[in-house]
Structure 1
Amino acid sequence: MSSTTKGKQTPTRTQEDKLSGNMGVGELVMNVLAFSSPLTTVAGTLPVMLLFSGHTAPGIYLLVTLMLLIFSVGFVRMSRSVDAPGGFYSFVTAGLGKPAGLGGALLALVGYIFIGFFAPSLFALTLQGFVVNTLGGPEIPWYWYGLGIITVTTLLAYNRIDLSAKVLTVVMLLESAVVVIFDVAAFASGDVSQGVEFSMPWITDAGLGLALLFAVGNFFGFEATVIYRDEVKNPDRTIPRATYLAVVGIGLFYAVAAWAYTAFLGADNVQDEAKANTVNLFNDGATALVGKIFADIGVVLLITSILASMLSIQNIAARYSFSLAADGALPRILGSVHPRHKSPYVSAVGVGIVWVVATVVFTLVGVAPEALYPIASGSGTFSVLLLMFITSFAVLVYFVRRRSFAPESVWKTIVSPIVSVLFLGLITYLAIANYPELIGGSAVMTAIFMTFTFALFIGGIVYAYFLRSKRPEVYARLGRQKIDQ
Structure 2
Amino acid sequence: MSNTVSPEMTSEAKSSQQRLRGNMGVGELVMSVLAFSSPLTTVAGTLPVLLMFSGHTAPGIYLLLTLMLVIFSVGFVRMSRSVKNPGGFYSFVTAGLGKPAGLGGAFLALFGYMAIGFFAPSLFAVTLQSFVVNTLGGPDIAWYWYAIAIIAVTTTLAYNRIDLSAKVLTVVMLLEVIVVVVFNVASFAAAGGDSAANIGFSMPWLGDAGLGLALLFAVGNFLGFEATVIYRDEVKNPERTIPRATYLAVVAIGIFYALAAWAYIAFFGAGNVQSAATENTVNLFNDAVTALIGKTFADVALVLLITSILASMLSIQNIAARYSFSLAADRALPRILGRVHPRHKSPHISALMIGVVWTLATVVFTLVGVAPDSLYPLASGSGTFAVLLLMLITSLAVFVYFVRRRRTDPESIWKTLIAPVVSVLFLGLITYLALVNYPELIGGSSLMTAIFMTFTFALFIGGIGYGFYLRSRRPDVYARLGRQKI
- Which TM bucket (shorter chain)? over 0.9
Q: Which amino acid aligns with 1:158?
A: Y
Write the mapping of 1:184-333 to structure 2, written as runs, cut at 5 A: 184-190=185-191, 191-333=194-336
Indicate the residue corresponding to 1:29 in structure 2: 30
Question: Equivalents in 2 of 1:435, 1:309: separation in Å?
Answer: 23
Q: 4+ residue stretches of structure 1 with deviation over 3 A?
A: none
Letter in 2 for 1:403: R
| Worse-matched range after superposition: 189-198 or 343-352 | 189-198
Aligned-partner Cα distance in 2 for 1:360–1:427 = 34
How far did 1:89 drift? Answer: 0.1
Amino acid at match of 1:97: G
Following the alignment from structure 1 to structure 2, what is the Cα–Cα distance between the partners of residues 308 and 227? 18
Unaligned runs of 5+ in 1: 1-10
Task: Quote the offset at 1:373 in angstroms.
Answer: 0.1
Cα distance in 1 between the residues matched to 2:75 and 2:362? 39
For 1:340 and 1:385, the matched residues in 2 are separated by 35
Mark the CA change 1:308 to 1:417 in structure 2 (over 3 Å): closer, same or farther.
Answer: same
Q: How do 1:34-45 residues align onto structure 2 when only pairs under 5 Å count?
A: 34-45=35-46
How far does the alpha carbon of each residue in 1:58-99 deviate from its partner, in whole angstroms, 9 at most, with x for none? Answer: 000000000000000000000000010000000000000000
Task: Note if 1:160 corresponds to 2:161.
Answer: yes
1:445-482 residue CA offsets vs partner (Å, 9 max, x unmatched): 11110000000000000000111111110000000127
Query: Where do 1:311-460 residues align within 5 Å?
Result: 311-460=314-463
* Cα 1:13/1:290, change in 2 over 3 Å: farther
Structure 1 equivalent of residue 19 of structure 2: 18
Aligned equivalents of 2:284, 2:127: Cα separation in 1: 15
1:100-139 CA distance string (max 9 Å, x none): 0000000000110000000000000000000000000000
User: Residue type of the partner of 2:55?
Assistant: G
* CA–CA separation in structure 1 for the residues paired with 2:147 and 2:34: 22
State the Cα deviation string for residues 18-72 of structure 1 (Å, max 9, x = none): 0000000000000111000000000000000000000000000000000000000
Partners of 1:444 and 1:154 in 2: how far apart? Answer: 32
In the TM superposition, what whole-angstrom CA distance separates every residue of 1:174-221 from its partner, at most 9, and x where no partner exists? Answer: 011000000000011113121110000000001100000111100000
Letter in 2 for 1:335: G
Instruction: Give, in whole Å, the separation in 2 of the partners of 1:12 and 1:98.
Output: 26
CA distance in structure 2 between the partners assigned to 1:311 and 1:319 by the alignment: 13
Deviations 1:237-256 (A, max 9, x none): 00000000000000000000
CA–CA distance in structure 1, aligned partners of residues 417 and 473 of structure 2:
37
Q: Which residue of 2 aligns with 1:176?
A: 177
Kindly provide the CA deviation profile for residues 124-178 of structure 1, in whole angstroms up to 9, marking residues without a partner as x. Answer: 0000000000000000000000000000000000000000000000000001100
Q: What is the match of residue 3 of structure 2?
A: none
**Can you list the C-alpha shifts for 1:282-306, whole angstroms capped at 9, x where unaligned?**
0000000000000000000000000
Match status 1:69 vs 2:70? yes
3-state SS in 2 of match to 1:140: coil
Measure the CA separation in 1 of the matches of 2:447 and 2:372.
Answer: 20
- In structure 2, do the counterparts of structure 1 residues 333 and 206 end up closer, same or farther at CA, with 3 Å as the change threshold? same
> What is the alpha-carbon distance in structure 2 between the residues aligned to residue 12 and residue 424 of structure 1?
41
Match of residue 92 from structure 2: 91
Aligned to 2:197, the other structure's residue is in SS state: coil
Distance in 1 (alpha carbons) for counterparts of 2:19 and 2:416: 30
Distance (Å, rounded) in 2 between the aligned partners of 1:370 and 1:413:
43
Q: Distance in 1 between matches of 2:195 and 2:307?
A: 34
Name the amino acid aligned to 1:51.
M
Report how many aligned residue pairs link the two structures. 473
| DSSP-derived class of the 2:87 partner | coil
| Distance in 1 separating the partners of 2:410 and 2:484 | 22
Residue identity opposite 1:309 in structure 2: S
Unaligned runs of 5+ in 2: 1-11
Distance in 1 between the 2:446 and 2:142 partners? 30
- Letter of the structure 1 residue corresponding to residue 391 of structure 2: M
TM-score, normalised to structure 1, is: 0.97
- Alpha-carbon distance between aligned partners in 2 of 1:45 and 1:34, rounded to the nearest angstrom: 15
Structure 1 residues 88 and 273, CA, compared in 2 at 3 Å: closer, same or farther? Answer: same
Mapped partners of 2:66, 2:457: distance in 1: 27
Report the Cα distance in structure 2 between the residues aligned to 1:49 and 1:313, rounded to whole angstroms.
23
Partner of 1:78: 79
Q: Deviations over 1:354-384 (max 9, x none)?
A: 0000001111111111110000000000000
Equivalent residue number for residue 125 of structure 2: 124
Read off the aligned partner of 2:18 and give its amino acid letter.
D
How far residue 15 of structure 1 moved from its aligned partner, in angstroms, is: 1.2
Aligned partner letter, 2:190: S
Name the % identity: 79
User: In structure 1, what is the Cα distance between the partners aligned to 2:33 and 2:269?
Assistant: 32
Pairwise CA distance, 1:12: 10
State the Cα deviation string for residues 428-450 of structure 1 (Å, max 9, x = none). 00000100000001111111100
- Residue in 2 that maps onto 1:108: 109
Any idea what SS the aligned residue of 1:330 has?
coil
**2:383, 2:220 → 1: CA distance?**
10
